[in-house]
């Protein structure tokens, strides 16, 4: 292994700059923990059109799609054409080009129509990143999936990635991608695996799994009313069993239609409308099958 300089150059907005700087620290710490401390890392910010500029080192260029979320004035077909051209040129100019997806969590706020438009644009941008990757060889760092695995409520953030928890989550996602793809020519395979294991072993600063599942946290919970009492129950993930639980509670009046609609909207944000519709259909079928089974047992 040679003494090597790696520079993370990033074309990212201010919201993501702290996360990228932190990612460089995480990578350096993990490599040092694995005994690969001859690699030196730095982080700088530049426009995506800037030419490579890392004398004596290797550049890892990272581009964000987050600034494109708010550009509603530009028709999508023009946005797509412009981004394909820019990303294609960047892929030809930079040895390593990484594209960051956008976290699909959008709060309704005061304008549900604007929130819906943002979600559509974010989905299109993330799909475009995958297309550009296939066409150019650029690598996608799936921030959306990584943060969705933790949850917007736990991270106390949305697509804008505000807050220290979001910065740390993005940093670890980026660090993991870089450790997997960028150091093969300079670091022994065993050291890379050790560095990745060290990254995975770091305790998260956000609430742990037990506290995240606590009813008070509001994650995967369902508030149900029985008589004059309100009860909060845990549902543990989105499945046909959970969908059946929602439908049964809605039919019996234990939850209001507004509560059910709010849950459905949250699920659509995370999984997409098609998956959620299929989940609701399967839940209804599951509930019907269980009801028929109870009916047969009663007649027997």
Q: How do residues 71-114 score in pLDDT, each as one tens digit?
A: 988 999 999 999 999 999 988 888 889 999 999 999 877 688 89
Q: Which CATH class is domain 4-201?
A: alpha beta
Per-residue model confidence (pLDDT) at position 264: 65
The two tokens of residue 286 are 């599951």
- Burial class of residue 205 (count of CB atoms within 10 Å of its CB; 0-12, 13-18, 19+): exposed
Q: Give yes or no for residue 278 having a pLDDT over 50.
A: yes
Task: Find the mean pLDDT for residues 182-196.
Answer: 91
User: Model confidence at 219, in pLDDT bands (50, 70, 90)?
Assistant: very low
Interacting residues of 1 by C-beta distance below 8 A, sequence separation 6+:
36, 38, 39, 186, 187, 188, 191
Its pTM stands at 0.68
The two tokens of residue 118 are 């943002």
What percentage of the chain reaches a pLDDT higher than 70?
Answer: 67
Number of C-beta neighbours around residue 27 at 10 A: 27
User: Model confidence at 275, in pLDDT bands (50, 70, 90)?
Assistant: low
CA 57 to chain centroid = 30
Q: In angstroms, rounded to a whole number, what is the distance separating the alpha carbons of residues 264 and 64?
A: 29
Q: In angstroms, rounded to a whole number, what is the distance separating the alpha carbons of residues 184 and 193?
A: 11
Q: In angstroms, rounded to a whole number, what is the distance separating the alpha carbons of residues 62 and 46?
A: 10
Q: What is the pLDDT of residues 107-165, one digit of tens each?
A: 877 688 899 999 999 999 999 999 999 998 999 999 999 999 999 999 999 999 988 89
CA 54 to chain centroid = 30
Q: Give yes or no for residue 261 having a pLDDT over 60.
A: yes
The two tokens of residue 131 are 């297309």
Per-residue model confidence (pLDDT) at position 229: 40
Task: Find tokens 């960051």 and name the residue.
Answer: 100
The ranges assigned to domains in the chain are 4-201, 212-299
Q: In angstroms, rounded to a whole number, what is the distance separating the alpha carbons of residues 31 and 39?
A: 8
Q: In angstroms, rounded to a whole number, what is the distance separating the alpha carbons of residues 103 and 161?
A: 8
Q: In angstroms, rounded to a whole number, what is the distance separating the alpha carbons of residues 300 and 294?
A: 10
Mean per-residue pLDDT of the chain: 78
């Amino acid at each position: 292994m040679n003494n090597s300089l790696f520079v993370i150059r990033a074309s990212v907005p201010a919201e993501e700059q702290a996360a990228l700087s932190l990612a460089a620290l995480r990578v350096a710490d993990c490599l040092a923990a694995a005994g690969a401390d001859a690699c030196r890392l730095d982080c700088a910010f530049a426009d995506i059109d800037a030419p490579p500029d890392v004398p004596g080192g290797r550049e890892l260029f990272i581009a964000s799609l987050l600034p494109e979320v708010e550009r509603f004035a530009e028709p999508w077909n023009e946005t797509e054409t412009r981004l394909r051209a820019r990303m294609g040129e960047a892929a030809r100019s930079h040895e390593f080009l990484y594209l960051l997806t956008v976290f699909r969590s959008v709060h309704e706020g005061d304008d549900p129509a604007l929130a819906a438009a943002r979600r559509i644009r974010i989905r299109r941008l993330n799909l475009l990143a995958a297309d550009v990757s296939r066409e150019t060889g650029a690598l996608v760092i799936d921030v959306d999936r990584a943060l969705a695995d933790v949850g917007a409520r736990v991270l106390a953030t949305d697509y804008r990635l505000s807050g220290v928890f979001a910065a740390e989550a993005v940093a670890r996602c980026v660090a993991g991608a870089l450790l997997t793809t960028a150091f093969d020519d300079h670091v022994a395979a065993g050291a890379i695996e050790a560095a990745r294991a060290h990254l995975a072993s770091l305790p998260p600063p956000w609430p742990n799994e037990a506290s995240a599942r606590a009813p008070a946290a509001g994650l995967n919970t369902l508030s149900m009313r029985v008589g004059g009492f309100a009860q909060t129950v845990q549902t543990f993930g989105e499945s046909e069993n959970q969908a059946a639980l929602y439908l049964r509670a809605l039919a019996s009046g234990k939850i209001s239609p507004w509560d059910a609609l709010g849950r459905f909207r949250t699920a659509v944000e995370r999984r997409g409308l098609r998956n959620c519709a299929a989940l609701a259909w399967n839940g209804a079928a599951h509930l019907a099958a269980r009801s028929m089974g109870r009916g047969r047992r009663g007649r027997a």
